[in-house]
Homo-oligomer: A and B are copies of this chain.
Amino acid sequence: MPEFTTLEHENLNSAVYGALCDALMQGRFQPGDRLKIRDLAEQFGTSVTPIRDAILRLVNDEAIVFRSPRDIRIPVMSESRYREIRSIRIKLEGLAAETAAQVATSAEIEILERIVRENEQAIAAGDRMKGTELNQAFHFMLPQIAGMPVLNGILRRLWLQMGPFISDAYLPGGRAMIDYHYPVIEALKRHDSAAASMAIVDDILLGGKPVLERILRGEKREARRA
């Protein structure tokens, strides 16, 4: 069970939700992990009510599932589900990149470059945690630059579902998640929508290869057990 980041929020409910989201996005939960409302309440030092609220929201996001009526768990990701999410991301992040390419300012492009630069350092230092965090930061900058808050929310939910699978998939090919970011930045600089879209699609397909492989390994393990 991971440690949680304490967030200042308007209410406990949102603070817990935010902390659980962070933990999920950072891959600090393993697929199949069980969550217990009372345990979490003790960890957060609150009553069960704000925890239930947060859990229910996460269940609504499909980032957590009720395996049975009293059994709350981090779901496992099937190959077909991952492929579906990948198809959706290709369309949506493609749209974000297209739109961002049309409107990106040089200040915004500099932010992207800074993120990639920091990511280089994180990889060099072998800091996987920081690496995945900066990878996410890069991806979420595109809908933000594009001025698409609804899209941002949809992608946030998808990343929430992928969270438990991306963190430790990047061990082998450490550079995989970053090499494909440079062509995106170049396309944004040229305000080339088509190239930006294609570049982000490359990143999702090629950079995401280790993630798919990890999921396939996970499914094999499940199959062997059964």
Contact = CB atoms under 8 A, between A and B. Distances in A.
Given A81-B150, A87-B148, 13 more contacts: A10-B69, A13-B56, A52-B53, A60-B60, A80-B147, A87-B95, A88-B92, A88-B95, A88-B151, A88-B154, A91-B91, A91-B92, A92-B92
Given A13-B56, A60-B57, A61-B60, A150 B91 contact: no
Contacts of A149: 81, 84
Contact residue range for chain A?
20 to 34
Contacts of A154: 88, 154, 157
A81 B150 CA distance: 8
A147 B92 CA distance: 18
Copy count, this protein chain: 2
A153 interface: yes
Interface of A: 10, 13, 52-53, 56-57, 60-62, 69, 80-81, 84-85, 87-88, 91-92, 94-95, 99, 147-151, 153-154, 157-158, 161
A91 B84 contact: no
Contacts of A151: 84, 88
Most B CB contacts (10 A, CB to CB) among A56, A81, A147, A161 go to A56
B91 A94 contact: yes
Contacts of A148: 84, 87-88
- Counting from the closest, the 9 A-B pairs by CB-CB distance are A91-B91, A57-B60, A84-B150, A84-B148, A91-B95, A60-B60, A53-B56, A154-B154, A85-B150
A7 to B, nearest CB: 16
A33 B169 CA distance: 46
A153 B10 CA distance: 28
